[in-house]
Each structure stands twice: as structure tokens, then as C-alpha cells.
Homo-oligomer: A and B are copies of this chain.
Amino acid sequence: MGFLCLLYPWSQVCEWREPEELAALLDLELRENGEPQHQLLQRIRDVAKYSVKTNHPRFFNQLFAGVDYHALTGRFLTEALNTSQYTYEVAPVFVLMEGEVLSKLRSLVGWAEGDGIFCPGGTMSNMYAMNVARYRAFPEVKLKGMWSLPRLAVFTSQQSHYSVMKAAAFQGIGTENVFKVKVDDRGCMIPEDLGETIELAKSQGAVPFFVHATSGTTVQGAFDPLEPIADICDRQGLWMHVDAAWGGSVLFSKEHKHLMRGVERADSVTWNPHKMMLTGLQCSAILLKDTTHLLKHCHSADAKYLFQQDKFYDTSLDTGDKSIQCGRKVDCLKLWLMWKAVGSKGLEERVDRAVAHTRYLVEEMKRREGFELIGKVAPVIKERMMKQGTMMLGYQPQGGRVNFFRMIVISPQLSHQDMSFCLNEIERLGNDL
């Protein structure tokens, strides 16, 4: 684990270099001949030096941050064992382990049974959901393609993640057939507008089949009201998907799980433990309530070289035909090992602590004057922040709002001091603006 020491001799979150300069420093070119070991070691040091320290306590830039050493151990072990998660034969431990982890995540959602699989990221998990939903409504799509189907309609809030658009484009549905439902001030989907938008789509001759709700939107962290959305999906016979890539981990917390009240009524849930749970990239589950093997029927291709039916063990353990990939990385071990180490209780405490830090931050901001960053100020502060490398957080405009900073609080190593540092630093960097 000598690598870890590579990461912490620096106080800076990043050591900014312009692209041309960095390329020259790294000497990236690949050549005919190999290099001696001492030179390779220097290259490793350089890669670490100029990479962003996403494990640094003052990295608030993305929906992942921090490090859990048990999870990291699981990731190293995954790499050393290098296998593919498609058959019991070649991944016996991980096939069983994935089953256990998925079952436990499902039970937090509120399902005693169901299905699921780990995918390479939340967008892929959301795509799986849209594809299975389409297949349930129109199984002939697998064989005949979209030409045998009526024009379909997807529904999601104005503030949902862009993966809904990517999925609609990739799966041949078209972004024009994604209907955006209005949100309230806090960024939550307005159920009444969902009902109206469904009627609008129908009046245009489209056939609704999929509602994509969000638990923890990307920018505001809003939780859509799942109960009234489920009522509408029930009434209309629509597949209800909950994209809880970011927010799903609140289900560990007795105090905060009310944010996802009604999630057990969904047909599918996306949940990324690589975000709030710190497992490290990639760790994203798609969970399904279905018990009729929809996932396999929808995605199977029955490859005879891999999924032989005359094997000497129960071939239902060969989970590979549930996935759209062939080779699939093992993503369960890091989560399993961390969970074994700290228990559900430990994970609950982390969620509660992150929310408490966020509340403190909000209170602090209210106390301070001048803390309404607007317009062109954010990009300038951001540039200064990166070049000094003291911390990292992202900014963006949204709706009618101009550029503002988005603060992500995840890591259990954080303290109130880090929250104050963040505010002080924004004040310092923007002092003269």
C-alpha cells in the first residue's frame, strides 16, 4: 500500500498546470523501447503529483470525494484478482457476493425480493432501467426494433440528470420524446405537472411508458415526491424509475430516509455507492422489483461459448446474460468489505454526519454578509482556487439563476473547520471582486 503515501505529502488539492506544460512535464509519448525501473518510478510519482487529490478533505468538486481504506483495500484486491463478473465458474466468490450486496440494497429500498446488477456508472444503470421498461411494455422491440412500436414518451423533471437525454438518444427513442416536468423552488418535481404532461404527450399521439424520478438531483440535491408520483404511475400503468444515484444512501439513515418515502413503490432504482458511500469509482447498482427475470429476457443473447447449458452447476448463477456488457468489472467487493468493516450502523453515521455538516454550512452562510455569489464572479474565484490549489468546488448556472457554487459534502473525515475554511476561502479569493 505504498501508494497511499504518494497521496498525502501535499497540502494542495491540485497542482495546476496548463495542458501544454503538463504534457511536457509528463513526457507522455509511447516509444519503441522500454524504460528502466528508476525512470518508471519517477513517472508514477509525476502522475500522482499532478493528479487532482480527490481524497483530499477540501475536494468538494464532484459527487464523489474522500477515501475509505477498507473500500480501497477491496479495490486493490479486485485488481489483483482480475476477473470478469459473468459466470460462477470464473467468479464464484463475486457472483455470490454481488447477490448478497444487491439483496441488502433492495431490502433498504423495501423489497423482500427482486433483481439487479452492478453497472459501469449511474448513466448505464438508468439506461438499463429505460430499456427493461420498454421491453416490459413492448417485448417485440428486442426482435423488431422501434418500427413495430408507437412513438414512446419518457417523463422526468427539468432538473434530472442528463443521462435521461443520453439514454433516450442512444436507445433510439429520441430526446424530443423526453417530456420535462416542472419543478418547485427547491427543485422537486411537481406531481400535478407530471399528470398534465402525461396528458399532453398523449394528446400528441405519444405513448407514455417511463417516469424517471430523482432522489438527489445533481445540482440542488432535491428529492422528488415519490408517493404522488407512484400514484400517477399506478393509475397510468407506467414504469416508475427512481434515479437515486446520489441520494440513495439516505436509506441507511433512520433520520433521513423519509426523503425517499414511497421508493418501495418504484419498479427500479439506480443507486451509486461510489458517491456518498465512498467506495470509489465505479460502483453503481440498478435494482429491480421484478421477479420474472425481465432483466435477463430483455438483455440475453445466449452465447454458447460462455453460457453453456450443459454445465455441471446451476447455470442460473451465470449472471452475465443479464448485462448488456460481456466482460464486466467486479464492483461489489469494495462495498462488501467496507460494509463488513463498519456495519450498516457505521454507514448510517456517515450519512447523518454529512447532512449535519451541510446544515452547519448553511447556517454559517446565513450568518455571513455578502454570501450571494453572482454572475461572473464564480468563474474567476474558481480559476484562482484551481491555480492556488487550496480547494476544489464546482459552479454552474441553473434555470433563471446565474453562476453559483455547488458544495458537495461527503467524506466522514470532514469537520466543521473544513466547512468554515471553505467559506473563508471563497471570501479570500473573491475579496477584491
Contacts and interface: CB of A to CB of B under 8 A. Distances in A.
Interface of A: 1-4, 6-7, 14, 16-19, 22-23, 26, 28-35, 40, 43-44, 47-48, 50-52, 54-55, 61-62, 64, 67, 70, 72-73, 75-77, 79-84, 88-94, 96-97, 100-101, 104, 120-124, 127, 131, 141-148, 151-152, 161-163, 165-166, 168-177, 218-219, 274, 280-282, 298-299, 301-306, 308, 310-314, 317, 324-329, 333, 336-337, 339-346, 376, 379, 382-383, 386, 392, 394-398, 403, 406
B22 A143 contact: no
Most chain B CB neighbours (cut-off 10 Å) among A70, A83, A379: A83
A3 B174 contact: no
A263 B27 CA distance: 29
Contact of A90 (B22, B62, B327): B62
Nearest to A376: B310
Contacts of A161: 326
A52 B170 contact: no
Given A77-B48, A84-B62, A282-B329, A40 B92 contact: no
A271 B15 CA distance: 33
Contacts of A52: 81, 83, 89-92
Contact of A176 (B94, B144, B376): B144
Contact of A80 (B7, B81, B131): B7
Given A145-B174, A146-B172, A35 B274 contact: no
A317 B240 CA distance: 36
